[in-house]
Structure 1
Amino acid sequence: MKAFFLFFFLFFFSSSFSQDTIDFEAIDSLYREDQFYVGITYNFLNNKPDGVSQNSFSAGFTLGFLRDFPINKNRTFAIAPGLGLTYNNYKDNVVISESNNQISYNIVPSTDFDKNKLGLYFLDLPIEFRWRTSTFDSHKFWRVYTGVKLSYLLQSKSKFVSGPDTIKLSNNPDINKFHYGAYVSAGYNTFNVYAYYGLQDFFKNGNLNGKPLDLKTINIGLMFYIL
């Protein structure tokens, strides 16, 4: 009986994976580039008012998943919607404080404090148009992916530290809940350069020196795609 099952298993295994029974052309016509992505960025403040400057390293981290939908026969062009998370921080000299339910924004010299940071946590909905030179049997290829990203602010945190004094503020109501921007990612194999241009102001309310605080972001870094 054991010999029978062994014979049956070997026969089934060899038949299932025989070259004659696998339709490689069908596989080639159905493959997708569904991918997890991880990115790290340096974050620049754009449209800064006079006197506003960044200090230290403003970093960003993003991760998520993209579902690939090829749109041509060779599957070199595709549309890919996704879902992800992003954390961005911005280290500058704009102090955010609250008093009597009023939020204020003030510029202080960089030499007058130890730390000043704004951290933003987002849920992302990216959708991108893709060009690549991939095939079903190779994960090493050239790519240019470009798209737009809609982000919903999950939480904001600002922290100012100067000697023994600390000012913290969470979920600042002046910050826009919805953010959007355009991005491009290009490279070969796993490593790709990445750039994001924010089209929405950080703040829906907030004035600095009597003028609206119309800050936007530019994020530049590396993007890694994992099948």
Structure 2
Amino acid sequence: MRIKILFLLLFSALSTFSQNVETDFDAPDSLFREDQFYFNITYNTLQKRPDGLKQNKFSPGFSAGYLRDMPLNSARTFGIAAGLGYSLSVYNQNLGIFENSSTTTYQILNAEGVAVSKDKLSLHCVDLPIEIRWRNATPESHKFWRVHLGVKLSYLVASHYKLVSTEGNLVSRNLRDLNDFHYGLYLTTGWNTWNIYAYYGLNPVFKSVAKIDGQSIDMNAANFGLMFYIL
């Protein structure tokens, strides 16, 4: 009986509250936040490549995540954002990576008579993007210009290398000579749905111990593509 009375009182209180509170769903939100969920697709390139190293086929990239938007002025046109995301970077190229229990050797695959159908390196990272934002957004419209300039810190959680050739096939996981941490600068700018995205890595993909003919493989990544935001 007491439980029934409690539920009856609670239901009556909620009914009274709902009748007294009017919600205007069309009213503009003066505390709006923008561009908090994101995903992008990119074309990935390797800079500072050793002599003879070429990228073949299309090298795609994908990333997605969440950014907490924090406006800095009352008009909410300037702000900062920090978040967490995941990225996959694929590089199709002609660098052979041969890893055994103790050492890793590298070779440019250009031998005559050897057909290579796949030479792919895939990197899986957890990303921490931090950015400064400008936009001319208003509470009434989500169509606006934006410029986001940021730095992205990435931690390599997994890697996968696959070689398919007439000389044999090779699969390696979690290569020891890859840098665990990557960092770089990026820029996103555009209007409404369509935004250009560019990233330039500031440290090499491989550690200094990775060498070809005694020279370090100092390649860094540069990615170009499109960024999409979900409010």
- The TM-score, its normalising length taken from structure 1, stands at 0.88
Q: Shift of residue 55 of structure 1?
A: 0.2
Q: 1:62 to 1:138 in 2, by over 3 A?
A: same
1:201 aligns with: 204
| Pair 1:141-2:144 in alignment | yes
| Pair 1:217-2:182 in alignment | no
Q: Shift of residue 195 of structure 1?
A: 0.2
2:7 aligns with: none
Counterpart residue identity of residue 174, structure 1: D
Counterpart residue identity of residue 194, structure 1: Y
Q: Shift of residue 15 of structure 1?
A: 5.4
After superposition, where does 1:71-220 map in structure 2 within 5 Å? 71-109=72-110, 112-163=115-166, 165-204=168-207, 205-220=209-224
Asked whether the equivalents of residues 60 and 91 of structure 2 are also in contact (C-alpha less than 8 Å), the reply is yes
2:45 aligns with: 44
Q: Shift of residue 100 of structure 1?
A: 4.7
| Number of residue pairs the alignment of both structures matches | 216
Asked whether the equivalents of residues 161 and 173 of structure 2 are also in contact (C-alpha less than 8 Å), the reply is yes
**For structure 1, which runs of at least 5 residues remain unmatched after alignment?**
none
1:32 aligns with: 33
Q: CA RMSD in A?
A: 2.4
Task: Provide Cα deviations, 1:80-127, integer angstroms capped at 9, x if missing partner.
Answer: 001000000101110001235211100012863110000000000000
Q: 1:210 to 1:11 in 2, by over 3 A?
A: closer
Moved >2 Å (runs of 4+)? 8-15
Counterpart residue identity of residue 155, structure 1: A
Quick one: percent identity of the two aligned structures? 48
Counterpart residue identity of residue 45, structure 2: F
**Secondary structure at the residue paired with 2:58?**
coil
2:92 and 2:185 map into 1 onto residues whose CA distance is 23
1:158 and 1:189 map into 2 onto residues whose CA distance is 37
2:124 and 2:18 map into 1 onto residues whose CA distance is 52
| Pair 1:68-2:69 in alignment | yes
Q: 1:34 to 1:13 in 2, by over 3 A?
A: farther
Asked whether the equivalents of residues 32 and 139 of structure 2 are also in contact (C-alpha less than 8 Å), the reply is yes
1:17 aligned to 11, 14, 23, which one?
23
Q: Shift of residue 164 of structure 1?
A: 6.4
Asked whether the equivalents of residues 190 and 226 of structure 1 are also in contact (C-alpha less than 8 Å), the reply is no
**For structure 2, which runs of at least 5 residues remain unmatched after alignment?**
1-10
1:112 and 1:176 map into 2 onto residues whose CA distance is 30
Task: Provide Cα deviations, 1:123-159, integer angstroms capped at 9, x if missing partner.
Answer: 0000000000111221111100110000000001111
Further displaced range: 172-181 or 162-171: 162-171
- The TM-score, its normalising length taken from structure 2, stands at 0.87
Q: Shift of residue 32 of structure 1?
A: 1.4
